[in-house]
Amino acid sequence: MPTARLFVLALVALFALSGALRAAELQPVTFAKDVAPIMQERCQECHHVDAMAPMSLVTYEEVRPWARAIRQKVITRQMPPWHIDMTVGVQKFKNDMSLTEAQINTIVRWVDAGAPQGDMKDMPPPKQFADGNEWKATKELGPPDLVVKAEHYTMPAKGQDVWWRSLSTIPLTEPRWLKAVEIRPGTLKGRKITHHVVAYLQQDDPDGLSDPEMNRGLLMEWAVNKGYDMHAPDTGKLIMPGAKISWDAHLHAVGEQIRDNAEIGLWLYPKGQEPKHRTYLTAFQALRSFSGSKTAGGARNIDIPPNTISTADNYTVLKKAARIENFQPHMHLRGKAMAVEAILPDGNVQQVSYVGNFTFNWMTNYIYDDDAAPIFPKGTIIHVTAWYDNTRANPNNPDPEQWVGFGDRTVDEMGHAWMNVTYLSDEEYTSAVAKNKTRQTASK
């Protein structure tokens, strides 16, 4: 076929497609037909009666008063709470809850058109909701194999922050490997008073090795509205009979007395199935020590003057080749943004992840897709940078006139990136890099 004719046909097809897109944009957008399915898919899990969100967004009557606010929240990507920059570093995630550009455009067009209800015959069947405090990993993994509960604590209506520490035994009679883990407050009310919960795994090292992760390793950290940790295929954590969970729960008063406890759900590999690698939950620091500092917090100090935006950064060297499985920034009320980059041994810099509009009320855990999880050689430097907004422009700031330093209280500050790290041998690293190159070539 002559080249000119092919060109004409291509132009005709392009104009036809453009016309179809314009025609679709001219079609009226209604709640019943277009917006309700988006709400069911991305919003209603949290926004229904007795769920964690402050309002229900199930019916048209419930959604309509919030139309303008919803428009603003989705345009700025504050809701759903998926605050990672999808143009930086890793861009594929197992637990992606974000809206597509088409979904955002639909909501914006609906609001701009006056938020019409439409024909209720177009409404999808109502979504069925489980318990508002259900395990978030249940959708993918089913219910946990084990649930271990901490001791209850009664938080008074008023008072100073409390760090409640207790010990619980894991009811196992044989070694088992863990493939996923999730922490939650025992009740929805408990979410109001729980700043964070850290679960440490205490057990004897079965190999007699000096492995600090075996004796008091981080099992999981939970913070406000965080989800779950799911280990990559063929990786996990080994739990021995008699192992205990050492709890560290940070609670704060909210104006009413609440009694609650932390719970941890454990999803196990089948009996006899042993993954090849052990994964380590690691807090890569953005904070450093001050010269000669002897203050609380040791190597983690920060100086945030009143009415300023401040920055802190730190570097950690990978002593072995490793795969990074996820990213969850942790800061407090002045937290503004966090970036992670890898400085490779050859000097090249690779961007890993960036959250530009961190929100304390949503400690989202971004779990990388298996084929997108970055792999780095031994000697790579993980560089974490955190930004803090101690000005009136920060709506979460309780007092921009207050100096802020390091501390565990909600009004103090921290700065680290929680990341699960799977260490690889040199041979495994070389093989993984080769597989990635083959995959990238095939996708082009």
Q: Is residue 115 in a domain?
A: yes
Domain containing residue 442: CATH number: 2.60.120.230
Q: Is residue 332 in a domain?
A: yes
Q: Which of 41-50, 126-135, 293-302 has the highest mean pLDDT?
A: 41-50
384 lies in the same domain as 418 = yes
Q: How confident is the model at residue 358 (pLDDT cuts 50, 70, 90)?
A: very high
- Closest residue by Cα to residue 361 from 386, 324, 394: 394
Q: Is residue 1 in a domain?
A: no
103 lies in the same domain as 224 = no
Rounded CA separation 342/321 (Å): 12
Q: Is residue 5 in a domain?
A: no
Residue where a domain stops, chosen among 91, 122, 153: 122
289 lies in the same domain as 257 = no
Show Cβ contacts of residue 213 under 8 Å, excluding neighbours closer than 6 positions. Answer: 201, 278, 280
Which range, of 141-145, 182-186, 207-211, 249-253, averages the lowest pLDDT? Answer: 207-211
Which range, of 120-134, 316-330, 343-357, averages the lowest pLDDT? Answer: 120-134
SS3 at position 157: coil
A 10 A CB-CB count for 273 gives: 12
Q: Residues 205-213: contacts with CB within 8 Å, 24+ apart?
A: 206/175, 206/238, 206/240, 213/278, 213/280
Find the mean pLDDT for residues 171-187.
92
Determine contact, residues 193/253, Cβ cutoff 8 Å: yes
DSSP codes, 18-44: HHHHHHHHHSPP-IIIIIHHHHHHHTT
Length of the chain: 444
401 lies in the same domain as 300 = yes
193 lies in the same domain as 329 = no
Rounded CA separation 168/147 (Å): 11
Q: Could you report the per-residue pLDDT of 197-211, keeping only the tens digit for each?
A: 989 988 875 544 334
pTM: 0.78
Q: Is residue 397 in a domain?
A: yes
148 lies in the same domain as 260 = yes
174 lies in the same domain as 249 = yes
173 lies in the same domain as 84 = no
Average pLDDT, whole number, for the chain?
A: 86
309 lies in the same domain as 397 = yes
Rounded CA separation 238/341 (Å): 29
260 lies in the same domain as 321 = no
Q: Is residue 3 in a domain?
A: no
Domain containing residue 257: CATH number: 2.60.120
282 lies in the same domain as 421 = yes
Q: How confident is the model at residue 50 (pLDDT cuts 50, 70, 90)?
A: confident
Residue where a domain stops, chosen among 122, 145, 160: 122
Determine contact, residues 185/260, Cβ cutoff 8 Å: yes
SS3 at position 122: helix
Number of structural domains the chain divides into: 3
Q: Is residue 2 in a domain?
A: no
What residue numbers bound the domain in which 242 lies?
A: 133-275
Q: Could you report the per-residue pLDDT of 253-281, keeping only the tens digit for each?
A: 989 999 999 999 999 999 988 998 888 88
Find the mean pLDDT for residues 361-370.
88
Rounded CA separation 135/89 (Å): 29
Q: Which of 1-5, 219-223, 291-295, 381-385 has the highest mean pLDDT?
A: 381-385
Task: Decide if pLDDT at 317 tops 60.
Answer: yes
Q: Which of 39-48, 90-99, 270-279, 386-395 has the highest mean pLDDT?
A: 386-395
Locate the DSSP E strands across 252-307: 258-260, 262-268, 277-285, 303-304
Residue where a domain stops, chosen among 275, 308, 333: 275
- Closest residue by Cα to residue 337 from 317, 314, 315, 360: 360
Q: How confident is the model at residue 12 (pLDDT cuts 50, 70, 90)?
A: low
Residue 365 carries which side chain, given as an amino acid letter? N
300 lies in the same domain as 371 = yes
Q: Is residue 348 in a domain?
A: yes
Q: How confident is the model at residue 111 (pLDDT cuts 50, 70, 90)?
A: very high
Determine contact, residues 220/199, Cβ cutoff 8 Å: yes
Find the mean pLDDT for residues 222-229.
79
